Structures are given as structure tokens and as C-alpha cells.
A and B are shown apart, each in its own frame.
Chain A
């Protein structure tokens, strides 16, 4: 007989083992779809790997793809740490993209433009995240639903912009005017798309880790998330902590949008984010809400996305496999997390 038993503590190696277990299970489950498409499983995954991590150019492409997901992953991780259920990273990303695009279109010296783009994008994302946080603190409105619904509001606002005032008057396409050339983020490696935003994301992760683990605010965020009553009893102003968390979370998601505008697209279009905000939830969960874990988790998803296109060309398996992998990985990780709460014990059959 087996029995589930509550766990009091979890060993440290779980932080690495659980995501690997979830990813392993995901790849095994999804191999069924590859077989269904009539391709060799090993070959398909092989192409996926070599096209995303196999050579230095592929690695830079994967890093470029990972960048927005590092930012949204961090945004979700810090929010979920405080149990501020920010499902709105997608909308916050779009708001950041729009704001930075507006600023980047103003002629000014490059470095100043980039700085102001980042500030504007972060501020826009934070402003959007402030809405569900304020509603929760002031009116006890459920933040899951309000932050989710805001995504649609922001998306339609973006559409109204690019089909209205920002519409390309030449082509009639719903795309914004491009930002100034001087505002384009510098490319760090000749012949690649590796831009400044990638480095910013890689620096942001340890900074957010430091914020959560080593600062007073981080301590308050963690206590608020783990036990709000105790936090309040200990003199922590829980409402203020939630608002601060939301501002950080929204700003990070906004920066994801800044990176896409400044480093990849140089303008705003309706599909500037193929769901990076939602992917941020997958990334944060795979990372077990640890900011340092966000980087490898985002790189994994990015590798799957870039690799899937090459795999599709080589084997004929639809590239949409990457979407299935993303969803499966999230669900598998949630199940794997059960091992942190429970352990399976072998027990004798009760007489």
C-alpha cells in the first residue's frame, strides 16, 4: 500500500530535480505527437536541439527569444512570491511596448532614447499592474480575473492605436511607425541579433534574486505571500507590500515589451508578443519562483520555440509542437510540485 503523507520540508536538490522531471515527462508525453506525425522521435528532438543550442549563432537566436520570457518570468515570479496573482504580464508587456515605441520615435541621442524607452516601458507596465493590485487592496477584487481581463483591454487599446493614429499611411498595414534608428538597441555580436536587452535580462535576474532574498522588501514580499496574517501581526503593511510587488512585477513585464521594440521589431504590431506574458507563467513555475531559475527555464522554452521551426522543416512535424510542449510543461510542473507538499510512503496493509 502507498500513502500520501504531508511533508514538512523539502530537500534543496528538489529545486533542480522537479523541473527536470517535469521537462522529461513533457518530452516523453509529446513524443507521442511526433510519432503520430510519422517522424522519428530522436531525430525530431535532435534537430530541435541542434537548431536552438547546437552552434553559437543558434544560441544567440535562442537567447534573443528567451529575453522577453526572462522578463515576464521574473514578473510572474516576484508577483506569485507575494501571492499577487498577476496573470496580466501579457497586457503589461504590450503596454511597455507601446510606451517605449512612442518614446523611441522621438528624435534624440541614442543612449538617452534607450534609457527613456526603458523607463517609459517599465512605468507603463507598472501602471497596468497597479490596477488589479489597487482593486484587490481597496475593494477586495479577485486579482486573477481582473489582471487577466486587463490583457484584453490593453490589447484592444494597442489595436486602436495601430489601426488608428499609428497606422502606416503608406501601406495601410496596422503597424506603428518605426522608432528612430539611433534608438535601436546596439547589437553586441556582429552578424547576430544579440542586443542590449538580452544583457539587461541576464542582469535583471540576479538583481531580482537579490531583491527577494536579501532585502527587507524581499523579506516582506515572501512573508506576505507565505502567511499574510503573520506578516500583519509582525507589523508589515501587507497592502503596501502588494502594491510594491505589483509595481515591480508590472515594470519587469513592461521591460519585456521594451526589449522587443528596441532590440527585435523596432515598431509595434498586433502580434508583437506570441503570448510571452502567458509563457512567463510557465517559466516562473518551472523556476519554482526563483529568479535565478527563470533564466534557464526561459532558455528552455525559447530553445523549444526556435528549435520547433527547424524541426518542422526537417521532419514535417508541425512547429506548433512547441505550444503543446509549453502547456504540457506547465501542467507537468504543477503535478511535480506535489512532491514538495507530499511524499509517497510505503505502508503495511492495515489489518
Chain B
């Protein structure tokens, strides 16, 4: 057991947690904005994959990492707009559209990647983001090298969490988002544009999912593979529920999941555990399903989630 504790309190382990949590934090915040406005976006898995592909491609062709990030975010925003077009403007069922967006985006990602790069035995890679130590802060023992010697995208995630909370709880736009997610009819009466606000929230959410995809192909793996997302989008769906639709709690949930994931990677590498690593990977999903059952007594989901809004219908 003591060997295990030594493993845990290594700097490398803490840094790994932060790194694993970053794409999940972006994706979870993105899904949270969308759901707070009343739109479940099951397109997340595909949107992350397509963004990972377009960001990687843009960087690979231009040599600019930040152009790649921008392209990935625009891709995510565009697919968010597509999902909003179907679910918000046309009022189609959110879960089926979400699956449609995921199937479409993943298919498009595979197709375009194969078209651009062809079939190669060694997948092309890029020189991805390098760690960027922050002066002074990175000299703090343990915490410094773990948190302040990371990719710039990690710092963006750390800033994004309080920013998301501020936007959601302290700005007029955030209030509109929460209103159209809780009671669109009342929001409409109060002069809030329900359709417009939902569109904006889903598009912002898509851009954040795009950022998550960019992190995977441009900082974590420095290549695009068909398994680059491998269920992280679904994890984000679970984390939003587990984090009770709150930016802080959702980010905390992402960190907790990253801890479990990093732990299972360590145990696999060191051959310490006799428990199959898949058991750990299952945990967030099982926890979330149990949490949903427990939480259902005090409903915390946005009341208008999954419900399309049509002004003329009562």
C-alpha cells in the first residue's frame, strides 16, 4: 500500500491528473452551457473528434498551433450551430439529433482525414504544444511543477472554469441562459430572446468542445487517430450530471475522473493492482448513473432540458 501512496504523491502523477482533466474540463463546460440553456448536445463525441481533426490538419498544413486551435474552435462552433439549427430553430428531438450530429461529424472527420493524409503506415504527427513554465509559480515545490509547468491550453482551462462561473452567474447573458433553460416561457415574457440565447449557448458550448478536441490532437497526442476521443465526450455528458450543471462542480468532477484515470494508468504500468483497469474506467459512468438516481429526489437538471420552445404553442 505504501508503494501506492508514493506513486500518488509524485509530481508526475499530479501533473498527469491536470493534463487528463483539461480536455474533460473544456468539454464538460461546453456541454454545461448547452444544457443550462435547455439543449442536450449528444453531438459532443463527434464534435470533439471533428475538431481534433480540423485543428490537427490546420496546424499540420500551416505550422501554426494557434491557428489550429482557432480552426478547431470554429469547427466546434459550426457544429454547435448545426445542432442548434435542428433542435432550437426546428425544434427536433435533441437526443436523436445529437446522435445524428455525432455520426455525421465522426464520419466527416474520418473521411476528410483519409482524403487529406491518405493511408499511411505511420500516422503523420505535428510538433504539438510544449510545456510553458510560469516564472516564480513553477518554483513552488510539488504544486509548481505539477500545475504551473503545463501546456498553455491547460492554463486556459484553469482560467475558463472561474470565467464560466462568472459568465453564468454574474452576467446578464448568463442570467438569460439560465432563464431559457429553466422557464423559456417566462424568459420570453421578460423579453429574453429564447431562440437567440439558446443558439448562442449551444455555439459557445460547441467552441469549448472544439477546444477539448484541439487539446487531444495538438497537445496530448500530437497526432490524429480515429480513437483520439474514444468516449471522452460521453464522459463529459456524465460529468455535467455528476457536477450538477455547475461550472465549479463540473470541473471538480473532471478532476476527480482524471484522478481515477491517472491512478488506473499508474497501476497498469506498475502492475500493482489486480483489479482490471477497465473497472476504473467504468467508475465515472456507474457513479453518474447512481448519482442520477440519488439526485432525482431534488431535481437539479435545467427544467426545460430536452424541451423545444415554440412561441405559438402553449
Interface residues of A (CB under 8 A from B): 33, 36-37, 85, 87, 131, 135, 138-142, 144-146, 148-153, 155-157, 159-160, 163-164, 275, 278, 281-282, 285, 318, 320-328, 330-331, 334-335, 337-338
Contact = CB atoms under 8 A, between A and B. Distances in A.
Given A157-B278, A318-B114, A146 B106 contact: no
B95 interface: yes
Given A144-B306, A338-B92, 13 more contacts: A141-B296, A145-B40, A145-B238, A146-B289, A150-B285, A160-B279, A320-B107, A323-B103, A323-B106, A334-B92, A334-B100, A337-B92, A338-B90
A327 B279 CA distance: 31
Q: How large is the interface on B (under 10, 10 to 19, 20 to 34, 35 or more residues)?
A: 35 or more
A323 B40 CA distance: 23
A144 B100 contact: no
B290 to A, nearest CB: 9
27 contacts: A36-B115, A87-B99, A135-B289, A139-B293, A141-B293, A145-B238, A148-B234, A150-B289, A152-B234, A156-B279, A157-B282, A163-B278, A278-B99, A278-B103, A281-B99, A285-B96, A323-B111, A324-B111, A327-B100, A327-B105, A327-B108, A330-B104, A331-B100, A331-B104, A334-B96, A334-B97, A338-B90
Interface of B is mostly: helix
A160 B99 contact: no
B240 to A, nearest CB: 9
A282 B103 contact: yes
Given A36-B115, A139-B296, A153-B286, A335 B107 contact: no
Contacts of A285: 96
A142 B106 contact: no
A152 B101 contact: no
Contacts of B92: 334-335, 337-338
Interface in B96-132: 96-97, 99-108, 110-111, 114-115
A153 B285 contact: yes
A315 to B, nearest CB: 12
B267 interface: no
B192 interface: no
Among B86, B99, B102, the most chain A Cβ lie within 10 Å of the Cβ of B99
A145 B241 contact: yes
A159 B282 CA distance: 11
B54 interface: no
